[in-house]
Amino acid sequence: MIIELENLAYSLESDISYVSGSTHMRQKLDIYRPLNPKGGCLPVVMYFHGGGWEFGNKEGGFKRISEVLDTGFIFISVAYRLVEDATWPAPIDDCVAALNYVKEHVAGIDTSNIALWGSSAGAHLACLLAGGCRSEQPVNVKCVVNYCAPVTVDLFVDSLAGEERKSSPVMKLLGGDHDETSTMAKEATVTRWVKSGYPQTLIVHGDQDETVPLIQSQILHDEIASVGSEVELYIAKNSPHRVDSVQVTDKVREFLTKNLGQ
């Protein structure tokens, strides 16, 4: 399939299974590849969709990807199992498997130039992946773009009670209340995976976000800075949870282009 946007032409390879032998519709990815590359192996940007770990799909990720196709990178939109199919750690295990598949099996990519990009729940998974959560081998990604990720899962779980605790998307991610809830919440907390060598990160968060408080990104910014990694927090003015503006797109394009060497 060929996709044309203005003067850009990309091929689409869709529904590629990244888990050997799996037929699960969520364990698949789409590859957007420029038809006229500049030459040689290209940087790759992997995008993880949002939706509170309950909703969303890889096709929805194309809206974000399409805004920066002019960079000439290879873009990969990743689906992962949602809570209706499997709870923690299934989503992050899928993201680890997707990254490993891309490095080992996708032709024409520069494996030293990989960026991770996610929105909300997808950003939570991208940030965990960047820190090596549940990965048995070095992740070695170049940079991360994080749109309003929830990061302190452990503290959030501790703050919940009553009906709110039962209905919370975070509790659904963890499979509800059980003997391992606290342990899982700690493992799913992004700040616990931030250590020396964490990839350079751009954090984008709306100042009117009522879904994930801005303080979450401020906490993550300070944690990344404390380990000596480069990090920038871009606060989108008058923006709700879905950050969507020309200024944000320009910021992301600049960040990716600078860090992926194109």
CA distances, 21 to each of 27, 28, 159 (Å): 10, 12, 40
99 Cβ neighbours under 8 A, 6+ residues apart: 46, 114, 116, 129, 135, 139, 141
Please write the tens of the pLDDT for every residue from 98-135: 999 999 999 999 999 999 999 999 999 999 999 999 99
Note the CATH architecture for domain 2-260: 3-Layer(aba) Sandwich (3.40)
Residue 157, C-beta contacts closer than 8 angstroms, at least 6 positions apart: 170, 171, 174, 181, 182, 185
Number of residues written out for the chain: 262
Quick: pLDDT tens for 233-258. Answer: 999 999 999 999 999 999 999 999 99
What is the tens place of the pLDDT at every residue in 2-19?
A: 777 667 789 999 999 999
